[in-house]
Structure 1
Amino acid sequence: MRRVCLTLPTNRACSETISAVAEEAAYGARRFGVEVHLLVLDSSEAPVLAGHRATVAGLPPVPGVVVHHLDETEQRTFLREVTAASGVPEPERVLDLLLPSRVSYGACTDRAFLIAESLGCASVHRRDSDSRYQSRSPSRAPSGHPEDGGPVFPIHHELTSLGRLPADVAGRVSRIRLDPACADRPVAMVGGSFVGEMSVDVEEIRRLDPAVYEDVIGLSVPDGYPEIWRRNLIAESFRGAGTTPFTRDLSTLTSVSPTRVDMCNIAFTSEVYGRVPLPPATDTIGSDYFLIHLVHDARLPGVLHNRHIVNFHTNERRSDAGFLAYHRRLAKFFLSTPYFSAVYDRMAAAGAELLDTDGRVRADAVAGFVRDSTRLDPAENIERLDVVDRSYRKLGGRYAGAADVLAAERGRLLDEARSDMEEFALLIDAWGPLIRSTKSVKGITW
């Protein structure tokens, strides 16, 4: 039986989301006859963790669904076994990259990739703790499928297409926009976006001062874009699929643009994440989007769908501490942009040359591009921090307070933006041995 991993990384209270994702797992097992491993990777504090354990314990048993709820101690035990068995140099350093003490959007998903490999899964399907599913009224449900009258689960399109050749998917999607030259490669990624609130806390900036908003969000746009494209990208940044609710399925077999999908609504085959991990950068939003770019630039087929997830901001994100944490992570994202843009440019230029003769991603080529990016002149990032500082002080209030904090951390932030890329290259080098070593630690039970 085909096994897949539906994963929910979290570091905050999300019992409602856990229950909802469990329903999606049940839908996938029932509808597609697969074995779904629901993997909750929990980095929450003890009281929240206890609540999650109670939620997981109360989930009804479902044929074809296996639930794993791992706290950080359990995750570390697994990772220590994997790194030791892999024979990689500096295993403790690699372990720290995979399970850092600070928030890392890439590292939490890398852990899911490794655990999925150890479980024999063919794909990983990721969701986020601050999201919900849309619903469709029974009157719009396709005949013969009454379950479609409830939540709109993205796993429907993911299990329909992932790993299949385009010829086998063509009759299962709404339309085809795929270059025929890519027809001999299986679908590597299926994704949608989100509707509802913006993915980061910048809407207030736009309300306070649209000009400042353009200056700040413009830092997310790589240099060299024509002004009209730049303005469009700024207008669309962090907004997902807008606010239009789901009414009917629309799926496209295509080379999926990284701007059209979100990591709360994504699935990859093991042929992708088994070759290259996500960047383990800490406190950096957007660092976990790397594989989306890799799939696109390597010209691997994908499916874009409109079963968008509903994004919302938790109470923690609305607190003063949450505000500061997210704006620090936003600043780190702006500082990472030149490095990632340099890598993405190289990958786009390489195109299908990123693949070996068997159609697999050449991890060594990707690692080389990442290492080369660390030679960039840091002057651009110094100016980026200057823009953030001027903009936030103009806004005043808690933005001025955030500017003070970022100014005090200026040197560290600049150094980390470069060292994050160096560590990413190191992890890519170690990834192959780590993936292979997962097969030798199946004795660990959760």
Structure 2
Amino acid sequence: MQRVCLALPTMRPCPGTIVDLAEEAAYAVATFGAEVHLLILDTTTAADFAKNADAVASLAPVPGVFVHHLGNEQQRAFLLGVARRSGAADPELLLDLMLPQAVAYGSCVNRLFLGATALGCTSAHLRNDDFDYQVVDGEKMFPIHHELLSIGKPAGEALAGVSSSTLDPADADKPVMLVSAAFMGELNVDIGEINELDPEVYRDLVRLWTPRVWTREEQDAMVDISFKGAGTETFDSAGSVLGVPDIWDVYMCNVALDHRSYEVLPLVPALRTIGSDYALLHALVHAKLPAVIHRRHIVNYYTPERRIGAGFVAYQLRFVKMLLSMLYLYPVYGQMIDLGPSGLLDERHELKVEPILGLVRSTIDLDRDVNEQCLDEVDRLYRKLGGKYVELADAVAAQRQQLLDEAREDAERWAVLIEAWAPMVAAARERGLGG
């Protein structure tokens, strides 16, 4: 029986999402005969945790569905136990990389990966706490349908579960490590208001996210598609494609990953940084491993706390940190492309961690003049918008040195975690989730 992990990280009350995910888990059991572990890693405070716990308690038991709801202390105990069992010289450092005090999107997904490993699952199916399913003819379009048709299978066998293929016959023996769809609805980065206020400022700001070595035309093309997902595209039962995907067709908010990918390479444990959880997808795509792209897109929406007051400033600072992080990530992604399958994959068609670790280490001491200039431009653009964006510019200016230092430190933290990851994965498998 296929044992899979349907995984939800959350830092807010989301009882409706929990109920929906339990329904998706039950669908997977009924349709595919899978054993589904719904893993909810919850870093909310006591009152909000209780709301999520009530939602879990209200779920009707379903044979084949196992629900695990872990709060901060349970996660801390699990992770510290794994770090110690891994033989690490500094278990507390690894705990900080996995469960830091600050918001860290890559860290929360890394915790899910270790949890899935501890549960003995062969794949992780990632969802967010701010989405809805598409509904077609009264039925929810669960992404796990396409995911379980293909994930982990040799690509030649996965052909039977898709409607079309661009697969090179020479890749038929390679495993499908990745299945993804996109999202509809609001931008997946909450900067749409900037576009409404001043489209030119929006374009200049997003252009700061693009590779500096690109031409202006290439940068503008990237601006046009960034953060928009599938737009208004809707479900199409004939829309699943097997082949080597474009990086723009894969999204961490709607993805399944085979354990042979995430048990090799952890995500970037960057602090206060949007977009830090995409490195593994880049590795899989640039290694030209087969994947399935389908059209059971989720519907993205925003939660209100990120648009006003301190929540607004905190979220926008994460966007600024994302801009700075690209100084360290783009060289890694570009050299992954140069390495290609021969440099990134072993004889079993699985990722090799050593060359990736070398790439990450090579970025740590890059000259950060580019990031200094980026913050100058961010300051100019925010002040041009006026209103609350002037206050945001002041907040960025006050934290300028910290932001620059954190961006570099995030690259260092990733290198440390990559080196420690294999022993941690082995320790999680030995320990199990419950102790």
TM-score between both structures, scaled by the size of structure 1: 0.95
Deviations 1:65-92 (A, max 9, x none): 0000000100111011100000022111
- Give the corresponding residue for 1:17: 17
1:269 counterpart = 2:258 = yes
The answer to whether the 8 Å contact 2:267/2:276 transfers is: yes
Match of 2:331 among 332, 338, 342: 342
Match of 2:344 among 350, 354, 368: 354
Deviations 1:107-153 (A, max 9, x none): 1111111111111100000000011101110xxxxxxxxxxx51000
Deviations 1:28-82 (A, max 9, x none): 1111111000001001111110011010000011111000000010011101110
- Give the corresponding residue for 1:43: 43
Deviations 1:359-380 (A, max 9, x none): 2211111111001011211000
- Give the corresponding residue for 2:356: 366
Partner SS, residue 6 of structure 1: strand
- Give the corresponding residue for 2:427: 437
Partner SS, residue 288 of structure 1: coil
Matches within 5 A, 1:346-425: 346-352=335-341, 353-425=343-415
- Give the corresponding residue for 2:270: 281
Return the alpha-carbon distance in structure 2 between the equivalents of residues 84 and 33 of structure 1. Answer: 36
Report the Cα offset of residue 313 of structure 1: 0.4
- Give the corresponding residue for 1:74: 74
Partner SS, residue 280 of structure 1: coil
- Give the corresponding residue for 2:319: 330
Read off the aligned partner of 2:108 and give its amino acid letter. Answer: C
Matches within 5 A, 1:151-170: 151-170=140-159
- Give the corresponding residue for 2:281: 292
Partner SS, residue 417 of structure 1: helix
- Give the corresponding residue for 1:230: 219
Deviations 1:180-199 (A, max 9, x none): 34322110000011000111
The answer to whether the 8 Å contact 1:182/1:299 transfers is: no
**Ranges in structure 2 where 5+ consecutive residues have no aligned partner:** none
Return the alpha-carbon distance in structure 2 between the equivalents of residues 66 and 88 of structure 1. Answer: 31
Report the Cα offset of residue 249 of structure 1: 4.3
- Give the corresponding residue for 1:144: none
Question: Over the residues paired in the alignment, what is the CA RMSD in angstroms?
Answer: 1.2
User: 165-174 or 415-424, which moves further after superposition?
Assistant: 165-174
Report the Cα offset of residue 247 of structure 1: 4.5
Partner SS, residue 220 of structure 1: coil
- Give the corresponding residue for 2:136: 136
TM-score between both structures, scaled by the size of structure 2: 0.98
Partner SS, residue 41 of structure 1: strand
Q: Percent identity?
A: 47
- Give the corresponding residue for 1:146: none
The answer to whether the 8 Å contact 2:4/2:123 transfers is: yes
1:259 counterpart = 2:253 = no
Matches within 5 A, 1:86-235: 86-137=86-137, 149-235=138-224
The count of corresponding residues between Structure 1 and Structure 2 is 434
The answer to whether the 8 Å contact 1:19/1:59 transfers is: yes
The answer to whether the 8 Å contact 2:10/2:42 transfers is: yes
The answer to whether the 8 Å contact 2:119/2:433 transfers is: no
The answer to whether the 8 Å contact 1:200/1:326 transfers is: no
Return the alpha-carbon distance in structure 2 between the equivalents of residues 60 and 419 of structure 1. Answer: 45
Return the alpha-carbon distance in structure 1 between the equivalents of residues 233 and 325 of structure 2. Answer: 31
The answer to whether the 8 Å contact 1:175/1:253 transfers is: yes
Deviations 1:407-429 (A, max 9, x none): 01000100110110011010000
Return the alpha-carbon distance in structure 2 between the equivalents of residues 122 and 316 of structure 1. Answer: 35
Read off the aligned partner of 1:395 and give its amino acid letter. Answer: L
Read off the aligned partner of 1:168 and give its amino acid letter. Answer: E
Partner SS, residue 429 of structure 1: helix
Partner SS, residue 39 of structure 2: strand
Partner SS, residue 135 of structure 2: coil
Report the Cα offset of residue 345 of structure 1: 0.7
Partner SS, residue 82 of structure 1: helix
The answer to whether the 8 Å contact 1:136/1:247 transfers is: no
Read off the aligned partner of 1:21 and give its amino acid letter. Answer: L
1:63 counterpart = 2:63 = yes
Read off the aligned partner of 1:351 and give its amino acid letter. Answer: G
Return the alpha-carbon distance in structure 1 between the equivalents of residues 313 and 368 of structure 2. Answer: 24
**Ranges in structure 1 where 5+ consecutive residues have no aligned partner:** 138-148
Read off the aligned partner of 1:68 and give its amino acid letter. Answer: H
In structure 2, do the counterparts of structure 1 residues 227 and 177 end up closer, same or farther at CA, with 3 Å as the change threshold?
farther
